[in-house]
Structure 1
Amino acid sequence: MIRKAFLRDCQEIARLSSQLGYPVDVSQLEERLKCISNHNDHIVYVMESNHVLFGWIHANVRFLIESPPFVEIAGLVVDSAYRGNGIGKQLVQACEQWAAQSGFTKIRVRTNQTRSDAVQFYNRIGFTIKKSQLVLDKEI
């Protein structure tokens, strides 16, 4: 079952985030999900059965000066034990439906080039590579 994420899901969302390589403290995740849940331009879906999450996806609306607004997938992870069963595709489809119902005509995702399995997954479900780029951070 795909549904919106709730605060009670934070333990499982954190478990899955660690599988993606982004360990997160559950209390920090709770604060982030509270904030995200207060914004209509964000959505977090989970696929769940018997209180166990098989995956989650987070998408948000992007408004940029140089291009029309679009929806961007900010994060997607499927439990490593269940990959290859169509869960990721269903989660992406849920975001596509949310985007279309919200009036958007484009959905974007960014992935690390080293995640060749992710690139192949997105290609298989209709995404095309538009450009490569570097991400630069600066602590302030």
Structure 2
Amino acid sequence: MFSIRQVELTDYIAIHELNCQEMGYEFPLHSTKVKINALMANSSNQIFVAIMNEMVVGYIHANDYDTLYAPHMKNIMGIAVNADYKRQGIGKALLQAVETWAMDSGATGVRLVSGSTRKEAHIFYRHCGYTGDKLQLNLCKKLNLCKKII
């Protein structure tokens, strides 16, 4: 059996491993810790973890989603479950934790963006009640930040 709770700073190693192994993100370990600490201090973000056998086996991060053209919603920024623990209801329970937070805070819904190649994830999200057929191109511009010299 598993349980869901809010993230603790000590979960950063397990979340880093999930990001690397399940999502393919090679974000540095120390930076993961710093980022989790900052997000925990910001009430517009929530991170929930799934615990099984005293280990973090999954997590979900969501935040406020506010635009000038839609009512307040929550936005799932990332969700990952260890491959050895999939198909046990963990992903669904993580989604439900965000959905409960959304309802409790007056949000009208929860949205997410999923990569076009993640076909199994799309089936899972649809099975959990998420709908949509909008295709988007995700663009990013890296900024070269210079350190200020004193």
Fold-level similarity (TM above 0.5): yes
**Deviation of 1:23 (Å):** 2.2
- For structure 1, list consecutive stretches of 5 or more residues without a partner in the other structure: none
2:72 aligned residue (69, 73, 76): 69
Write out per-residue CA displacement over residues 20-44 of structure 1, whole angstroms, 9 at most, x where no aligned residue: 1112222100110111111111100
Identical residues among aligned pairs (%): 33
Instruction: Report matched runs for 1:1-140 at 5 Å.
Output: 1-18=3-20, 19-140=22-143
CA deviation after TM superposition for structure 1 residue 129, in Å: 1.3
Structure whose alpha-carbon radius of gyration is higher: 2
Q: Secondary structure at the match of 2:70?
A: coil
Gap regions ≥5 residues in structure 2: 144-150
Give CA-to-partner distance per residue, 1:37-66, whole Å, 9 cap, x none: 111111000011343111000000111112
Aligned equivalents of 1:70, 1:79: Cα separation in 2: 27
Give the TM-score of the pair, scaled to structure 2: 0.90
Q: Name the SS of the counterpart of 1:40 in structure 2.
A: coil
After TM superposition, the score normalised by the length of structure 1 is: 0.96
- After superposition, the CA RMSD in angstroms is 1.0
Deviates more, 1:22-31 or 1:53-62: 22-31
Equivalent-residue separation in structure 2 for 1:53 and 1:79 (angstroms)? 9
Shift of 1:130: 4.0
Deviation at 1:7, TM superposition (A): 0.8
